[in-house]
Amino acid sequence: MSIHLSEEEQLENMKRWWKDNGKSVLAAVIVFLAVWFGYEYYKEHTRKTAEAASASYAQLDSLLQENMDKPFSEADKTTAFHIIESLKKDHKSSQYAKSAALVAAKLAVNANDLDRAENELNWVLSAKPDAAFEQVVRLRLARVLVAKNELDKALTQLGDKPSAAFESEFQEVRGDIFKRQGKLQEAFDAYELALASVASQEQARTMVLKMKSDDVKTPASSTEEKSQ
């Protein structure tokens, strides 16, 4: 009898507990399931989005390979820009979109459309690339601005402290700007810094930098070299 009563008491206790706590338990289960299904959906959506971006960029890369040794036809150029704009619109935060915008900038430079090239490069900067990629973009943007003769803007893009990997290229562009501004000593100093940081195996580039340095050498520069 006591066992039977104990079971009845346990059942009543369970009923009371469920009455007091059932709603909160159901709510917790619903929240858990919503979070779990939401996370699974997010993973699947992210995977499909990445695959779509990768496929689009592969199509663009195929066009680039096909036209590597010849000018882009108008049809291929139209296709390339369509792919690029789709990547920028649908996958803005992806590396594929940022790389595609660099391709667009290069195509624009080749077509002498410097305004479009500048816009494409500024778009990449607005998409918050990582530090190394940002330096590549700023270097290219500075060169576009030099071609547009917007020299102060170009210097601003170069900033003050490039990483060691980009030191030589940044200093070379700085030298090009100073030369255009008639600041020959500053140009010479920049080219010398570019020479000092150029990789030893880049012999052709070393020769170009040496020619640029010699071209802007002033009497003051020659005196300074002799005293070193």
pLDDT digits (tens, 9 = 90+) for 9-26: 766 767 776 677 767 766
Average pLDDT over residues 102-119: 94
* pLDDT given for residue 222 in this prediction: 54
Complete DSSP assignment for 100-157: HHHHHHHHHHHTT-HHHHHHHHHHHHHT---HHHHHHHHHHHHHHHHHTT-HHHHHHH
For residue 20, which amino acid is it? D
More confidently predicted of 224 and 140: 140
pLDDT reading at 47 higher than 70: no
Q: Is the pLDDT of residue 113 over 90?
A: yes
What is the structure's pLDDT at 181? 95
Higher pLDDT among residues 131 and 49, named by residue:
131
Give the global pTM: 0.74
DSSP states of 15-46: HHHHHHHHHHHHHHHHHHHHHHHHHHHHHHHH
152-206 confidence digits (pLDDT tens): 999 999 987 788 889 999 999 999 999 999 999 999 999 999 999 998 888 999 9
Average pLDDT over residues 49-66: 83
Q: Which residue has the higher pLDDT, 227 or 14?
A: 14
Is CATH 1.25.40.10 correct for 2-161?
yes
pLDDT value for 121: 97
Is the separation of the CB atoms in 81 and 100 below 8 Å? no
* pLDDT tier at 42, thresholds 50, 70, 90: very low
